[in-house]
């Protein structure tokens, strides 16, 4: 196993991690931005106001994108397991 192979596997793992985390992070970012704008417009400075909507949106995003996220991680894992014989030699 060469250092280039290890770096490639690491890059693929980081890419899959980024792709899987993107729907949840982007939905939380969008809701946080909207609630922040609402709080700025109404001058409500309650820190816990954004928690429940963010949580609900993230659960919704997980329900919607969950099957896709699961298929991405399963495909990556299957590919990695199939590559083990060629990585050892």
84 DSSP 8-state letter: H
pLDDT tens, position by position, 24-53 = 999 999 999 999 999 889 888 887 888 899
d(CA 72, CA 89): 27
What's the rounded Cα separation, in Å, for the pair 46 and 40?
Answer: 11
pLDDT by residue (tens digit) across 63-75? 999 999 999 999 9
Between CA 35 and CA 45 the distance in angstroms is 11
Of the chain, the end-to-end C-alpha distance in Å amounts to 7
Residue 70 confidence (pLDDT): 96
pTM score of the predicted model:
0.79
Whole-number pLDDT of residue 17? 96
Burial of 61 (0-12, 13-18, 19+ CB in 10 A): buried
Report percent pLDDT > 70 for the chain: 99
């Amino acid at each position: 196993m060469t250092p280039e192979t290890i770096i490639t596997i690491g890059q693929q793992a980081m890419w899959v991690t980024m792709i899987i985390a993107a729907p949840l992070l982007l939905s939380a970012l969008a809701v946080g931005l909207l609630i922040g704008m609402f709080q700025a417009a109404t001058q409500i400075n309650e820190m816990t106001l954004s928690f429940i909507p963010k949580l609900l949106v993230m659960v919704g995003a997980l329900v919607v994108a969950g099957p896709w996220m699961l298929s991405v991680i399963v495909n990556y894992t299957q590919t990695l397991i199939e590559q083990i014989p060629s990585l050892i030699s």
